[in-house]
Amino acid sequence: MQIDLSGRIALVTGSTAGIGEAAAQALASAGADVVVNGRNADRVAETAERIGGRGVTADVGTAEGTADLIRQLPEADILVNNTGVFETRPVFEIPDADWLRLYEVNVLSGVRLARHYTPRMARRGWGRVIFVSSEAGVQTPTDMVHYGMTKTAQLAVSRGMAQEVAGTGVTVNCVLPGPTMSDGVLAMFDELYPGLDPGEQERRYLAENRASASLLKRLIRPHEVASMITYVASEQASATTGRALGADGGLVPTIVP
């Protein structure tokens, strides 16, 4: 299968590291005109130069930052809503401020961008909106309930938007990675298992945490999720919309997608 995204403008939020960076690279390799986004101007510029794209520095976790990004990039054919934050905390110790912060960054960032770009895609007769959700959206992690809540919300938002643009040539989907070896996860490993090398940290995490149910028996790598995102963004995925597509290594114990 040859995926060709030549002539398509692809915006990937939170794309200076991890899954977002891998998705930006994969989309650029498929020929898309990729727009890298992040909050740090130097990292945005470096990543954009490395993948042969362009950069827009803006904090899409806020309404003001999202409006700034839209001013700089009024049109896009592919929107990958990847920006997100997570933290571990006992559910009864999560203050209102943290519930609201995770909701605004993880959910409203994508809602605001999709609200702008998706109707424009529909008028042109082609478009792809992809929410990078998580398997945590379908099996809530006990130590990250507020994070899981935002990922479940993305599933509902994505399905509802897909229904709204039915028949227009625009698809809206969620990709659900499992635990992925991202910068954020590596930082979490350093807190959980200080002093151990990354390989041993991964083995300990697999043995002691919910990732032990993975059928891969390892954490996912960002490029593996990026491959799914690139497929969903392609013409070949034209019959896939309103779906939640797993890239979780079989972690979710179900035969129903």
> Domain with 90 in it: what CATH number?
3.40.50.720
32 lies in the same domain as 93: yes
Indicate if 82 and 194 belong to the same structural domain: no
189 token code pair: 């490993």
Same domain, 202 and 230: no
Q: What is the structure's pLDDT at 17? A: 96
Q: List CB contacts of 18: < 8 A, sequence separation 6 or more.
A: 180, 182, 183, 184, 222
- Residue 93 domain-assigned (yes or no): yes
Query: What is the rounded distance in angstroms from the CA atom of residue 47 to the CA atom of residue 53?
Result: 8
* Lowest mean per-residue pLDDT among 66-75, 91-100, 182-191: 182-191
Q: Which residues pair with 245 in a beta bridge?
A: 175
255 located within any domain? no
Q: What is the mean pLDDT of residues 2-7?
A: 98
Query: What is the rounded average pLDDT of the residues 197-217?
Result: 90
Closest CA to 252 of 157, 142, 135, 164: 135
What is the percent of the chain with per-residue pLDDT over 70, rounded to a whole number? 100
Active-site annotation holds for 147: yes
Active-site hit among 147, 193, 205, 231: 147
> Cα angle at 116 between 113 and 120, to 5 degrees?
130
Overall average pLDDT of the 170-184 stretch: 94
Instruction: Quote the pTM value.
Output: 0.96
Q: Starting at the earlier edge strand, list the strands of the sheet with 54-57.
A: 54-57, 33-38, 9-12, 78-81, 127-132, 170-177, 244-247
CB atoms within 10 A of CB 212: 11
Asked if residue 85 belongs to a domain, the reply is yes
Q: What is the pLDDT of residue 188?
A: 84
Containing 33, the helix (H) or strand (E) segment is strand 33-38
Q: Does a structural domain hold residue 154? A: yes
CA distance readout (Å), 26 to 11, 83, 222: 12, 17, 10
pLDDT at 257 over 80: no
Number of domains in the chain: 2
Q: Are residues 215 and 232 in the same domain?
A: no
**34 and 94 both lie in a single domain:** yes
75 and 201 housed in the same domain: no
Q: What number of other Cβ atoms are within 10 A of residue 18's Cβ?
A: 23
Residue-number span of the structural domain to which 185 is assigned: 181-219
pLDDT at 173: 98
pLDDT tens-digit series, residues 155-164: 999 999 999 9
